[in-house]
Amino acid sequence: MTLSTLYHANLYEKPAVPSYWEATAPPPPADNGPLSGEQSCEVAVIGGGYCGLSAAYHLAKDHGRDVRVLEANHLGWGASGRNGGFVCFPAGKLGLEAMVAKYGQEATQAYLQSQLDAVDLVDALGREEGIDYDRQGHGFYDVAHRPEAAAGLPAYAEGLKRFGVPTRLMSKAEFDAEGHRGSEQFGAVHIQRGFGLHPLKFHRGLAAAALKRGAIVHGNSLVERWETTGGAHRLVTAGGSLKAKQVIIATNGYIREGLQPALDGRVLPALSNIVTTRPLTAAELAAENFVNESPLFNTRRLLFYYRILKDKRLLFGARGDTDGSPASAARMRAWLTRRLGEVFPAFAGAETTHFWRGLVTLAATKMPAVGRLPDDRSVFFAYGCHGNGVNTMPWAGQALAKLAAGANRDEDVVPAPILGLSPRFPFPALRRFYLKAAYLYYGLKDR
């Protein structure tokens, strides 16, 4: 079987990710080593990120199931170790009015409640499993990048309030005092649930918790072939095979097409890029009045997302190019560094010490997709967090554990706006072209 990927092979290879998180995280817990020989279990999980580890953790801890995780690379190599550490929401790009029109008031309320529950789950995992993930801030901010964007903030804030999300509208002057100044700041909405964290510390703590609860985790175990016979699944790696009654697919943007044809063409991975500066001085921070450690992002369609880290570095991220090559990485680092200095002029001379990139996942519905395959109810999946997966994916893993353990009705576990497969993208081979066209269009709209 030939498995295909959408981007340059560089994005799927195994070298260590040169991120700030890799440089500052404790060593990963010892896993059970690459899969070898003929093995079996009740539930096999493909992917050792937040979703896969959460599914394994909850299946072992809450349901007493025999579960194994197959991770293609070392634990935390993918999006779970590369993101910006934003515990925020929503994980979809479908507006509230459109969601209500499509699914109804009650289902929209259930979806937003699941997002709040996802924030609480990350919080609870930290407390109950003793994971020190460098929690920072209170809530998160959506910052108007120009005066015209500020005009849309009141309706956005009121919409969230209507569904019980604690939200505060802030003028430019109010945010100047509480957040930062900068050249792209004209007011903000403060969503008062969420926080920042060190994503790789969280991931490694979750991995340790899953192992402690009895899950078996195999790193460096890329699934190369999937056979299904008589209702039983056999996952084949370079070193062995794993038979299972049920399979959870938790690979998100790193799925290799051809492995499970039912998912082919349904995800659109998109590159996101991050730089971090050297630690900023008190004088530099004062020059921008950058006084808040909560996560922030702005109202650009091709948004900037940023936050001050524990050691006073600025993390600054944005969506990226559409090929993933090393040459494009160098161009993206230079562009991000320039734009950081334009948004925060006082930081323009600060060296950027780390640069890394990875894949976030979009779906045609503009919403996450969580559930099981309609033609094989023993296979479960979660994908499509649109860049907000730090809390959504642990929640999705917990939800999939409930489904695999025998929840009576899928709709009792997963809200309707995110339940089930999203449609395939038309002409899937053109997905990168669609993304490139969207970037050009949104880039014009952001000006």
What is the tens place of the pLDDT at every residue in 412-431?
999 999 999 999 999 999 99
pLDDT tens-digit map of 222-268: 999 999 998 899 999 999 999 999 999 999 999 899 999 999 999 99
Per-residue pLDDT at 252: 94
Q: What is the mean pLDDT of the chain?
A: 95
Q: How would residue 9 be classed by pLDDT, with cut points 50, 70 and 90?
A: confident
Give pLDDT tens digits for 152-170: 999 999 999 999 999 999 9
Phi then psi for residue 433, to 5 deg, are: -65, -45
Give the residue among 243, 206, 239 at the shortest CA–CA distance from 220: 239
- Residue 164 token pair: 């019980």
Per-residue model confidence (pLDDT) at position 67: 98
Does the pLDDT of residue 122 top 60, yes or no? yes
Instruction: Tell me: cis bond preceding 423? Omega within 30 of 0 counts.
Output: no
Q: Which DSSP state fits 279?
A: P
What pLDDT is attached to residue 2? Answer: 55
Q: Is residue 249 part of a domain?
A: yes
For the stretch 49-74, pLDDT in tens is: 999 999 999 999 999 999 999 999 99
Q: What is the C-alpha R_g of the chain?
A: 21
pLDDT at 1 over 90: no
- What are the residues whose beta carbons fall under 8 Å from the beta carbon of 39, sequence distance 6 or more? 68, 240, 241, 242, 243
**Domain boundaries, position 392:** 14-83+200-265+365-426
Q: What is the length of the chain?
A: 447
Residue 281 lies in a domain: no
- Answer yes or no: is 2 within a domain: no
Contact, 266 vs 348, CB < 8 A? no
Residue 53 in domain: yes
Q: How far apart are CA 5 and CA 2, in angstroms?
A: 10
| Pick from 123-127, 154-158, 309-313, 439-443: least confident | 439-443
pLDDT band at 446 (very low <50, low <70, confident <90, very high): confident
- 192-228 pLDDT per residue, tens: 999 999 999 999 999 999 999 999 999 999 999 999 9
Is residue 153 domain-resident? no
Q: Phi and psi for 410 in degrees, rounded to 5?
A: -60, -40
How is residue 235 written in tokens? 């996952």
User: DSSP readout, 351-414?
Assistant: PEEEEEEEEEEEETTSS-EEEEETTEEEEEEEE--TT-HHHHHHHHHHHHHHHHTT-S-GGGTS
Q: How many domains, in total, are found in the chain?
A: 1
Q: Indicate if the pLDDT at residue 182 is higher than 60.
A: yes
Q: Across residues 379-388, what is the average pLDDT?
A: 96
pLDDT at 264: 95
Whole-angstrom Cα distance, residue 276 to residue 19?
Answer: 9
Instruction: Assign residue 214 the CATH number of its domain.
Output: 3.50.50.60
- 36: CB partners within 8 A, 6+ apart: 239, 240
Give domain status of residue 397, yes or no: yes
How sure is the predictor about 11, in pLDDT bands with cuts at 50, 70 and 90?
A: confident
Spell out the long-range contacts of 154-159 with Cβ–Cβ below 8 A and sequence spacing 24 or more. Answer: 156/189, 157/189, 159/96, 159/97
77 is a domain residue: yes
Cα–Cα separations (whole angstroms), residue 175 to 148, 168, 296:
17, 11, 12
Residue 82 to residue 16: CA distance in whole angstroms: 11
Overall average pLDDT of the 169-192 stretch? 97
Determine, yes or no, domain membership for 67. Answer: yes
Using one digit for the tens of pLDDT, what is the confidence trace for 321-362? 888 899 999 999 999 999 999 999 999 999 999 999 999 999
